[in-house]
Amino acid sequence: MPFIATNPATGQVIAEYAAHSPAEIDARLERAAAAFRAWRATSHEERRTLMTRAAELLEGEIPAVAELMTSEMGKTFAAAKGEASKCALTMRYFAEHTEAYLEPESIVTRGRRSGVRFDPVGPILAIMPWNFPLWQIVRFGIPTIMAGNVVVLKHAPNVPGSALYIEDLFRRAGFPEGVMTNVFAEVEDVPAIIGDDRIAGVTLTGSERAGRSVAALAGQHLKKCVLELGGSDPFIVGAHADLDLTVPHAVTARIQNNGQACIAAKRFIVVRERSEEFLSRFAAAMSDVTTGDPMDPATALGPIVSRAQRDLLDAQVSSSVAAGAVVHAGGAALAGEGYFYPATVLSHVPSGTRAITEELFGPVAVVHVAEDLDDAIAYGNATPWGLGGSIWSTDDAEIDRAIAGLDVGVVFANAIVASMPELPFGGTKNSGFGRELSAFGVREFTNVKSYFVA
């Protein structure tokens, strides 16, 4: 099967690449293994110089790479430029900070010297999704490479241009061949790659179903894995929320990346005393969202990534409405070319319907009324997922109760949930395990090696 990039704004095929043969995959794995043997011995200074050069190159190419991402998956051009800028910033961050994160730690024992080292483990297979074609690779790959490992990238088949770009970027920055290796591998090729002795670990960002499969394969071969899976993030509006701040951010939190982000707010949980005003203002603001050509600066919401994904979202909404959900904005796929779906707000959604039990990967918000903050937190936790969540309040006591009470990996207060290089990122429950970014992400694929000198 070829790797095909289709522009979701027009439905037109823009690029097509053949899948790699078993022999080509084997050669690329061998290249990565050879690169690791040399790369692990490089100094922090050498790694820092090369990574800084990669950041410089990317910064000079932001408009071009942004247009590539927009054409392949439909995010707005403005969002794509922001993604590319964030990638360059993250490259610079880990170029600067990784040496300190990997500094051996001394521990007092009965020995003369003892402590812990953090040593690289080898080539890491990265199975990446389409929704952030560059950032997903950078978020995992930069800390991992700076730790002395190398990356074998199996990207989503609908963003092949982005996969080739990141491989070429590392090559042009001067990294040894094989430090970042792209593999156009079919799904049926993945088990053999995970089981290959040259692969030391695997990371996946994707669906819960894919995560279970990869975790089972990694466990079968006794290899470390990190999983960042789905989410149904709660956006909790407390009694002391400033709605002038909260409502515009609620819109952005739902429509960011055309609503196709694991950490996008999906369940808007509002305490009863603020619910009527919030719902009225939120629905009006969502109705005003401009949907259209993602290259147009006036567009706030671009297309869904594919016809199949758009039709799935439409079915999730329509079945929930048929069961009794109330539509306050949007609610049906848009006619015409491309895979567009409007910003949508639902309330009174019955439990057990698809808008409650399934992740909505598109610009559809579900509003739920809670009796008080404790009820809101309990409802926020009443899901199999636990990726992120936010609390909107001017009261520190409310904020702290939500931070402590939410069973998620990331909590933001009065700000949209985001990933940033300084903080560890990852989820709990069915949203996966392991961490990316920060010192935790740097050390995730290292051998924590104790040493003792008598």
List, by residue number, the catalytic residues. 228, 262
Tell me, rounded to whole angstroms, the distance of Cα 394 from its chain centroid.
29
> In this structure, which amino acid lies at residue 437?
L
3-state secondary structure of 174: coil
Q: Which residues of 374-409 are buried (b: 16+ CB within 10 A; e: fewer)?
A: eebbebbbebebbbbbbbbbeeeebbebbeebbbbb
Q: Kindly list the distances between the CA atom of residue 284 and the CA atoms of 122, 245, 281, 368, in Å, as whole numbers in the listed order.
A: 52, 15, 5, 17
State both tokens at 292.
């259209």
| Structural contact between residues 310 and 341, judged by C-beta atoms closer than 8 angstroms | yes
C-alpha angle with apex 124: 118 to 134, nearest 5 degrees? Answer: 110
Q: Kindly list the distances between the CA atom of residue 83 and the CA atoms of 20, 113, 162, 375, in Å, as whole numbers in the listed order.
A: 28, 45, 12, 36
Rounded Cα distance between 67 and 99, Å, is: 34
Cβ atoms within 10 Å, residue 332: 13
Q: Residue 121 belongs to what H/E stretch? A: none
Half-sphere exposure of 117 (CA within 13 A, CB side): 10
Rounded Cα distance between 310 and 68, Å, is: 21
| Residue recorded with tokens 């009225």 | 280
3-state secondary structure of 115: strand
| Structural contact between residues 166 and 182, judged by C-beta atoms closer than 8 angstroms | yes
By CB neighbour count within 10 A (0-12 exposed, 13-18 middle, 19+ buried), where does 25 fall? buried
| Residue recorded with tokens 């404790």 | 374
Rounded Cα distance between 36 and 151, Å, is: 9
Tell me, rounded to whole angstroms, the distance of Cα 352 from its chain centroid.
27
| Structural contact between residues 29 and 153, judged by C-beta atoms closer than 8 angstroms | no
Rounded Cα distance between 318 and 334, Å, is: 14
